[in-house]
Amino acid sequence: MKVDILGCGVDMVDMAGALEKVETFINAGTPHHVITLNAEIIYRAQNEPKLKKVINSAHLVTPDGAGVVWASRRLGKPLQERVTGIDLTTELAGKASQKGWKLFLYGAAPGVADEAAENLKKQHPGLQVAGTSHGYRKPEEMPDLIAEIKKAGPHILLVALGAPRQEYWIREHLQETGVPVSIGVGGSFDVLAGRVERAPVWAQKAGLEWAYRLVKQPSRFKRMLALPKFALKVINYNFKKR
Ligand code: UDP
């Protein structure tokens, strides 16, 4: 079951449902693309048909932001909760350590993916990280990176290049890498490595994580301008439908 938010299908899953789906994908063994979608990217997709196509061809699209959950309620098909890239990564690391699934971390500045991997391993003893790479490899280095990933043979590839760069990258290389599950996780490695602080739980629960990130990283201001525009579009869409 999906909710259509301005032409982008979002799966009506909570965290438990998303984890179940990922397990099904791993058991199937064929490549699957998972997107944790936020309002900013849905808004961008309005003028980027290519992006909308990537979103709607993914095997699982989870509601990453408070804006997406809010929109689903306004559109009469309420999503239960946010399933963010960082939470999905943490939960999957726990499950991977029990099931013997291997992870590969690709993205963020040099050193960050390694630190994130070390911290995940500390939190989840027995977790296998099959490889890491920073996120600033040149286009001509892509064949090497793909070869590294294939050689490592992970079950889950976490790609932290920021949205929508990571979604385009995964779409382009999904079949080539052959990894059962590839997920775009945005700035998650920076948080896991302890380089960026996540909003406190009360702010997350109040749907105010975006505001916290804005205060901590004021350079995000321009990107945030998409949020009120997204809200207006959802309100108008709902109004037209009535
Ligand atoms: N990044 C990268 N390669 C690039 C551009 C960005 O690895 O070519 C990384 C960047 O270092 C950061 C992440 O992508 O770790 C983007 O984080 P941001 O918080 O902007 O992502 P969002 O969660 O908003 O998509």
Res 241: pLDDT: 64
Query: How far, in Å, are 126, 128, 151 from residue 33 at the CA level?
Result: 25, 21, 20
Tell me the CA end-to-end span of the chain in Å, nearest whole number. 22
Res 207: pLDDT: 87
**37-93 residue pLDDT tens:** 999 999 999 999 999 999 999 999 999 999 999 999 999 999 999 999 999 999 999
pLDDT at 221 over 90: no
Average pLDDT over residues 163-181: 98
State if residue 64 touches ligand 1 by the CB under 6 angstroms criterion: no
- Rounded Cα distance, 188 and 209, in Å: 14
Res 242: pLDDT: 58
Instruction: Identify whether 154 is preceded by a cis peptide bond (ω within 30 of 0).
Output: no
pLDDT at 11 over 80: yes
Instruction: Compute, in degrees rounded to 10, the torsion defined by CA atoms 219, 112, 129, 144.
Output: 90
pLDDT at 233 over 80: yes
State if residue 65 touches ligand 1 by the CB under 6 angstroms criterion: no
**111-128 residue pLDDT tens:** 999 999 999 999 999 999
Residues with Cβ < 8 Å from 233, sequence gap 6 or more? 6, 43, 46
Res 238: pLDDT: 67
Q: Where are the domains of the chain?
A: 2-241
Res 91: pLDDT: 98
State if residue 190 touches ligand 1 by the CB under 6 angstroms criterion: yes
Mean pLDDT rounded to a whole number for the chain: 95
Give 4 Cα–ligand 1 centroid separation in angstroms. Answer: 27
- Name the least confident of 31-35, 215-219, 231-235: 215-219
Joined together, the tokens standing for residue 144 give 């090497």
Give 161 Cα–ligand 1 centroid separation in angstroms. Answer: 4
From 84, 89, 158, 161, give the residue whose CB has the most ligand 1 atoms within 8 Å, as the site to mutate.
161
- pTM for the whole structure: 0.96
- Which residue has a Cα nearest atom 17 of ligand 1? 187
Inter-residue contact 72 to 14 (CB < 8 Å): no
State if residue 186 touches ligand 1 by the CB under 6 angstroms criterion: yes
State if residue 115 touches ligand 1 by the CB under 6 angstroms criterion: no
pLDDT at 1 over 70: yes
Give 164 Cα–ligand 1 centroid separation in angstroms. Answer: 10
Res 213: pLDDT: 87
State if residue 108 touches ligand 1 by the CB under 6 angstroms criterion: yes
